[in-house]
């Protein structure tokens, strides 16, 4: 099977997977106990039966499940996510989530890239110096940081660096005015130099927490794959030819040992937009993870949860599709079939 046929096959599989995810997402919220209207109303106000019936009719909750499923499928595929609250219907879900998504993208993007780079480099060095002091120290430290809860590390950092680094939110008080602009009705802002510096200071502790928690996975994975690759015959042949150690390790060994690392990295980037729920909560960082936890525990915001779960699954599917295509680019021995 050629590359084009393989891409067509994977696209069909991806489309089927998207429909499957949408269906599972619909079923999860259908089988949840209680009514969405009850959650939104809570004990804060009393609505008349006529008002409740009008809200349910507006949101299609009085329709049979198969009608609701078709409507839900259409909304997810057309990215028409509706409003955040059926009682008010004031804020579009897409615009509401976009207020939090850039924050998560910055936090998770920086920490994920740093953890991959640090983990891979340290893993290569540990494999090259296997059995030595550096190898033992790298493995033990990565296991420790990978095992510690992120909320515990976050609270330790907050206690240690209290008064030195900001430990909550994304910017401080009394910020200067931003230069705002709009995209699809959502307001964005060009950060001033002072605001950019303040954001960097607020990112140091949560980024450090996530990087320490994540890098051990890549270090151990890289070390394991490199140890297996370094014993191959072509590595011995490269050494016999007199090639430099750096060339052998990074150009020959790491390239052929990188397929599991690509898979792990693709999954990490796929889940990147879901946020870091615990870390964002500890540092009061207004990202998607914090929004998800707040929507579950406080507001029970069904429309927001629908979209967050859907986007998370979609990014994981796309990331794995890209990883599958990269396999053949990195290792020409792989045949698409």
pLDDT in tens, 91-117: 778 778 888 888 888 888 899 999 999
- Residues pairing with 189 in the sheet: 180
Which of residues 256, 286, 316 is at a domain's end?
A: 286
Domain that holds residue 111: 101-286
Residues 34 and 113 in one domain: no
Q: Where among 92, 117, 149 does a domain terminate? A: 92
Tell me how long the chain is: 337
The predicted structure's pLDDT at residue 184: 47
Q: Cβ atoms within 10 A of the Cβ of 105, count?
A: 15
Number of compact structural domains in the chain: 2
Query: What distance in Å separates the CA atoms of residue 36 and residue 23, rounded to the nearest whole number?
Result: 18
pLDDT at 116: 92
Confidence of residue 208 (pLDDT cuts 50, 70, 90): very high
CB count, 10 Å around CB of 37? 18
- The highest-confidence range among 107-116, 158-167, 170-179, 323-332, by mean pLDDT, is 107-116
**Residue 127, phi then psi, degrees to nearest 5:** -65, -40
Q: What pLDDT sits at residue 35?
A: 63
Tokens 């140890």: give the residue.
Answer: 227
Residue 320 lies in a domain: no
Q: Is the pLDDT of residue 286 over 70?
A: yes
Looking at every residue in the chain, the average pLDDT score rounds to 79
Residue 105 and residue 188 in contact, taking contact as beta carbons nearer than 8 Å: no
Q: Tell which of 286, 302, 319 closes a domain.
A: 286
């Amino acid at each position: 099977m050629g590359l084009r046929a393989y891409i067509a096959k994977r696209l069909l599989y991806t489309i089927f997977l998207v429909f499957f995810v949408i269906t599972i997402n619909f079923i999860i919220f259908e089988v949840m106990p209680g009514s969405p209207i009850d959650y939104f109303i809570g004990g804060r106000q009393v609505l008349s039966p006529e008002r409740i019936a009008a809200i349910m009719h507006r949101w299609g909750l009085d329709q049979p499940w198969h009608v609701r499923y078709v409507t839900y499928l259409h909304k997810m595929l057309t990215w028409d996510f509706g409003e955040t609250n059926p009682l008010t219907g004031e804020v579009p879900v897409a615009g509401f989530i976009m207020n939090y998504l850039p924050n998560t993208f910055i936090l998770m993007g920086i920490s994920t890239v740093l953890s991959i780079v640090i983990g891979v480099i340290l893993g290569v060095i540990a494999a090259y110096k296997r059995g030595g002091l550096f190898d033992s120290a790298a493995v033990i430290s990565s296991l420790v940081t990978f095992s510690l809860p992120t909320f515990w590390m976050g609270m330790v950092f907050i206690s240690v660096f209290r008064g030195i680094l900001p430990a909550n939110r994304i910017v401080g008080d009394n910020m200067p005015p931003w230069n705002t602009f709009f995209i699809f009705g959502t307001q964005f802002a060009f950060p001033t130099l002072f605001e950019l510096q303040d954001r960097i200071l607020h990112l140091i502790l949560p980024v450090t927490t996530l990087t320490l928690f994540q890098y051990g996975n890549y270090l151990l994975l890289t070390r394991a794959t490199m140890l297996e690759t370094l014993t191959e015959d072509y590595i011995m042949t490269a050494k016999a030819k007199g090639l430099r150690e750096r060339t052998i390790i990074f150009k020959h060994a790491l390239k052929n040992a990188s397929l599991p690392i690509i898979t792990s990295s693709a999954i990490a980037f796929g889940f990147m937009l879901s946020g870091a729920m615990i870390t964002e909560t500890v540092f009061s960082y207004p990202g998607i993870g914090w929004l998800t936890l707040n929507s579950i525990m406080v507001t029970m915001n069904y429309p927001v949860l629908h979209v967050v779960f859907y986007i998370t699954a979609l990014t994981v599917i796309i990331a794995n599709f890209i990883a599958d295509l990269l396999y053949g680019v990195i290792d020409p021995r792989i045949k698409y079939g």
